[in-house]
Structure 1
Amino acid sequence: MEKLTGTLALAIAERDGKSVPANTYFQGALKVMRPQYLDDSGQVVYFILNPGGGYVGGDVYKIDVTLADNAELLLTTQSATKVYETPNNEVRQETEITLGKNSLLEFISDPVIAYEKARYVQQQVVHMDKTASLFYSEMITPGWAREQDGFRYEQLLLKNQVYMDGKLAVIDAFRLTPADGVLHDIGMLESFSHVGSLLVVTPSIDETFVHDFQEVLKQEFADLRFGISLLNVYGFSARILANSTQELEQFIDFCHRYVRQHCFEKSPLLLRKY
């Protein structure tokens, strides 16, 4: 049995219109802050912490999140995930998410910052009921390198799979290997240095919603390169290219606010982290 650097298990239940922790367990270099309620909707908010300050070679992290029927959780990180040099073994993080009927998970991740000679593999599997809703975001930014060009990490692989009612509905894999020499080619990062991804699955999204939302984004973010794809199930995925973390954060925050208002019927939340 492999040794885990950090493990986190979080189960949320719904009681009398309020989402509450049913089980919370963490060990090693992962933990969560106390539950918070930032509005009167009953949705619970948790911040994930890494007391170790960063990921190093050979680290293995496992996260398990379960939402019971009608439970609502906003899960976010307290700071960026810093992946340092991994001379021998890659860093791996595996996340498994289970969403019950009419549940809602909003998972807002801070950037993954990959430093020189870093190798990082992130795998996430979501099992959700067809009535559940998911908003998930992730960002990748280049970390410090001796040559100061920001692209000296060895490999980043981020893979997401979504199963709906037991059937594979969405698979999205994103792999960056600067040594291949194609990082700035068309279809990759091109002239940009930062990349973000969104995955939104909820019954209220259809082709009309995605078309209208895309037009709104074109007006708001004319200087960014982004694309939105309608999923085979109700929802969409998006990829965003930018040249700063702030640009990505602004784009994702705008999308989060828009989806919360138009799909989840919730007011915007201000997540104070700094």
Structure 2
Amino acid sequence: MTSQLLNILNTPSRLLAHTIGQDAPELARYQDEPRQMRSGAVGKSGYLLLGFELRGKRSVLANMERRVPSLVQMALYWDEQMPDLPCVTMISTTGCVLQGDRLATDVTVGPGACGHVTTQSATKVHSMNANYAAQIQNFRVEEGGYLEFLPDPVIPHRNARFITHTRIQVHPTATVIYCDMLMSGRKYHHVDERFGFDLYSSRVSAENLEGRELFVEKYILQPKTDSLDATGVMQTFDILANVILLTPKEHHARIIERIPALFDQAAGQASGVSRLPNNCGLIFKVLGNDSGEVKAQIRAFWTVAREEIKGISVQPKFLWR
């Protein structure tokens, strides 16, 4: 590992959030500063730290730090199937992501601990006429730990530019369920909102606790340059969801057996599960046109994963979710 990479890995995520887009070739044309408030200024540099630890017979949110516009509710134990699971909801005090925002999140799960993290609603990336928005997420799950990170979808508005980097560090005995869901935009708001954003750049990587890389997935979407409706890309679909499951190899085959591939273009649904490199886990991809149906498929995969790994099912769906 090079000294330059070590420096990057050891740099606090709140600082990295200010730099990840500066050298990205896809963002070269969007380096101008907003006229209203410079990028990363106070109120535009959000930070959230969540640390879960095992205390007695249940896990707790032992460490928490926040900086506006990022906020978090106290941990609640609403999952009757896993009463020892602290459930945390992330909140944005601005209700959206704006040009020049730099957001960072660190989540750690100690040995034997568990945690569930979600959001209060969809992440809306507003229209931009200068610069871009950036997000960095770091997850570290130690021996025997268990983390569910299941936020609501990202909705990029017309002319939005968003770059996100996610790094997952996981012990071989730990489990991480990580989900991201991208919608085409506010397609019922305006005809130009469907895939009307300028750029969406996503990088997700995983490694063991010693820094050995397990997999990397990166994609860059520029619908105004390269149509996403092409065959082999989004085709006729509007929504893309990725569920990454990092868990010991002994669980992989049983989960795959319970998740059949699906392709029904007439119904606007497609999904399938694949193995990740280095026997580190599985990735479940979903395409769809209706957010409710995509969420239902994510929930079905989450249910199977939890049942096979923990021997426990998922809490029945709340009516308002």
TM-score category, normalised to shorter length: over 0.9
- Identify the residue that residue 221 of structure 2 maps to in structure 1: 176
- Identify the residue that residue 23 of structure 1 maps to in structure 2: 63
Shift of 1:195: 0.8
Shift of 1:184: 1.1
Structure 1 or 2: more strand by fraction: 1
1:140 to 182, 187, 194: 182
> Which residue type is aligned with residue 172 of structure 2?
K
Is the CA contact (8 Å cut-off) linking 1:32 and 1:48 kept in structure 2?
Answer: yes
Is the CA contact (8 Å cut-off) linking 1:14 and 1:71 kept in structure 2?
Answer: yes
> Which residue type is aligned with residue 197 of structure 1?
N
Question: Which structure: larger Rg?
Answer: 2
CA RMSD across the alignment: 2.2
CA gap of 1:271–1:95, structure 2 versus 1, over 3 A, is: farther
Superposed CA deviations along residues 91-114 of structure 1, whole A, max 9, x for unmatched, are 111011111100000000100001
1:153 to 170, 194, 197: 197
Aligned residues: 273
Shift of 1:182: 2.9
Structure 1 stretch displaced more, 55-64 or 254-263? 254-263
2:77 to 24, 31, 37: 37
- Identify the residue that residue 78 of structure 1 maps to in structure 2: 120
Structure 1 stretch displaced more, 227-236 or 132-141? 227-236
- Identify the residue that residue 5 of structure 1 maps to in structure 2: 45
> Which residue type is aligned with residue 226 of structure 1?
S
Shift of 1:90: 1.0
What SS does the aligned partner of 1:252 have? helix
> Which residue type is aligned with residue 161 of structure 2?
R
Is the CA contact (8 Å cut-off) linking 2:240 and 2:288 kept in structure 1?
Answer: yes
- Identify the residue that residue 102 of structure 1 maps to in structure 2: 144
Is the CA contact (8 Å cut-off) linking 1:163 and 1:170 kept in structure 2?
Answer: yes
Q: When the two structures are superposed, what TM-score results if normalisation uses the length of structure 2? A: 0.79
Question: 2:281 matched to 1:241?
Answer: no
Shift of 1:143: 2.2
The separation in 2 between residues aligned to 1:204 and 1:161, in whole angstroms, is: 18
Is the CA contact (8 Å cut-off) linking 2:53 and 2:109 kept in structure 1?
Answer: yes
Shift of 1:210: 4.7
> Which residue type is aligned with residue 124 of structure 2?
K
Structure 1 stretch displaced more, 254-263 or 145-154? 145-154
Question: 2:258 matched to 1:213?
Answer: yes
Percent identity between matched residues is: 22
Shift of 1:205: 4.8
Is the CA contact (8 Å cut-off) linking 1:205 and 1:263 kept in structure 2?
Answer: no
- Identify the residue that residue 114 of structure 1 maps to in structure 2: 156
Is the CA contact (8 Å cut-off) linking 2:198 and 2:224 kept in structure 1?
Answer: yes
Superposed CA deviations along residues 172-201 of structure 1, whole A, max 9, x for unmatched, are 123211012331112210111111111001
The separation in 1 between residues aligned to 2:54 and 2:70, in whole angstroms, is: 25
> Which residue type is aligned with residue 190 of structure 1?
Q
Structure 1 stretch displaced more, 157-166 or 96-105? 157-166
2:131 to 85, 89, 94: 89
The separation in 2 between residues aligned to 1:219 and 1:73, in whole angstroms, is: 33
The separation in 2 between residues aligned to 1:120 and 1:103, in whole angstroms, is: 31
> Which residue type is aligned with residue 118 of structure 2?
T
The separation in 2 between residues aligned to 1:53 and 1:257, in whole angstroms, is: 29
Q: Unaligned regions of 5+ residues in structure 1, if any?
A: none
Shift of 1:222: 9.6
Shift of 1:219: 10
The separation in 1 between residues aligned to 2:92 and 2:193, in whole angstroms, is: 27
The separation in 1 between residues aligned to 2:98 and 2:198, in whole angstroms, is: 14
Is the CA contact (8 Å cut-off) linking 2:45 and 2:101 kept in structure 1?
Answer: yes
Question: 2:304 matched to 1:258?
Answer: yes
Is the CA contact (8 Å cut-off) linking 1:105 and 1:135 kept in structure 2?
Answer: yes
The separation in 2 between residues aligned to 1:190 and 1:169, in whole angstroms, is: 30
Superposed CA deviations along residues 58-77 of structure 1, whole A, max 9, x for unmatched, are 10001011111011001111
